């Protein structure tokens, strides 16, 4: 009976965490942006880069889920500052992608792939994939886990690792097959999807900034009251 209860809790925690983070990250939508930024890479190089981004995303989410609140406290960074700064980075990325002019396809050997490999963590992992929205959500999920009773705490911790692994696997798959997805919908469809995703990325960044500013003003007004 107890085992069944813990299994139900595990599934419940995983479903809630996975649905929350996968909606915010939206890897299959951002995959068009990833493909546009790496269009000169070969399929093998893109798959290797996608795997590295998936691993990086897993690490970022696990750190945010388990140590996020402590890390912010250690550096004296508030969640509101994280949202404002991260929102600016996301909005800037979306604006750059939105204004970028379509270019002719480049041969895979025409470009040096070393710079794009160095971009595996920044900006392809952070903030493009695991941005401030997903980090803030992960920190919130981790904070809810600390409020659980001792019997459920281990199950919640295991579910957090499973959530991070599941989201990272979706990122890996979406990015690795971004070229196949783009090829299926054609150049014009890829352009439309890229611009639409870039616009949504810009809107997400602005929304994160507004949320951070609103929360900061609310705290300021409460302190003065």
Domain of residue 39 covers 2-224
| pLDDT (0 to 100) of residue 146 | 56
Handedness of CA 23, 141, 80, 57 (dihedral sign): negative
* The pLDDT of residue 61 is above 90: yes
pLDDT at 53: 96
Q: Mean of the pLDDT values across residues 81-109?
A: 69
Please tell me whether the overall predicted TM-score, pTM, comes out greater than 0.85 for this model. Answer: no
What distance in Å separates the CA atoms of residue 212 and residue 205, rounded to the nearest whole number? 11
Query: 60 Cβ partners below 8 Å, 6+ apart?
Result: 125, 126, 130, 135
Q: What is the pLDDT of residues 134-173, one digit of tens each?
A: 887 788 777 666 555 555 778 888 999 999 999 999 999 9
Which pLDDT score, from 0 to 100, does residue 74 have?
82
| pLDDT computed for residue 52 by the predictor | 95
Could you give the number of structural domains in the chain? 1
Beta carbons of 57 and 203 less than 8 angstroms apart: no
Q: What is the pLDDT of residues 171-214, one digit of tens each?
A: 999 999 998 888 888 777 777 877 887 787 788 778 878 888 99
Quick one: average pLDDT of 3-25?
83
Q: In the predicted model, is pLDDT for residue 111 greater than 60?
A: no
Residue 65, C-beta contacts closer than 8 angstroms, at least 6 positions apart = 138, 139, 141, 142, 145, 160, 163, 164
């Amino acid at each position: 009976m107890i085992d069944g209860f813990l299994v139900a809790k595990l599934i419940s925690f995983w479903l809630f965490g996975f649905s929350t983070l996968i909606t915010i990250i939206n890897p299959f939508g951002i995959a068009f942006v990833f493909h546009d930024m790496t269009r000169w890479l070969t399929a093998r190089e893109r798959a290797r880069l996608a795997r590295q981004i998936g691993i990086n995303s897993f690490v970022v989410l696990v750190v945010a889920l388990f140590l996020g609140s402590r890390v912010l406290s250690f550096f004296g960074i508030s969640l509101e500052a994280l949202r404002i700064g991260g929102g600016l980075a996301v909005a800037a990325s979306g604006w750059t992608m939105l204004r970028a002019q379509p270019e002719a396809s480049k041969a895979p050997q025409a470009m040096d792939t070393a710079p794009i490999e160095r971009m595996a963590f920044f900006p392809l992992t952070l903030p493009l994939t695991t941005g401030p929205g997903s980090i803030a959500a992960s920190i919130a999920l981790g904070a809810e886990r600390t409020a659980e009773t001792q019997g459920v705490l281990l199950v919640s911790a295991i579910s957090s690792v499973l959530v991070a692994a599941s989201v990272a696997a979706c990122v890996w798959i979406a990015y690795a097959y971004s070229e196949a997805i783009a090829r299926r919908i054609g150049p014009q469809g890829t352009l439309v999807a890229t611009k639409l995703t870039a616009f949504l990325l810009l809107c997400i960044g602005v929304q994160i900034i507004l949320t951070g500013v609103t929360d900061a003003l609310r705290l300021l007004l409460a302190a003065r009251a």
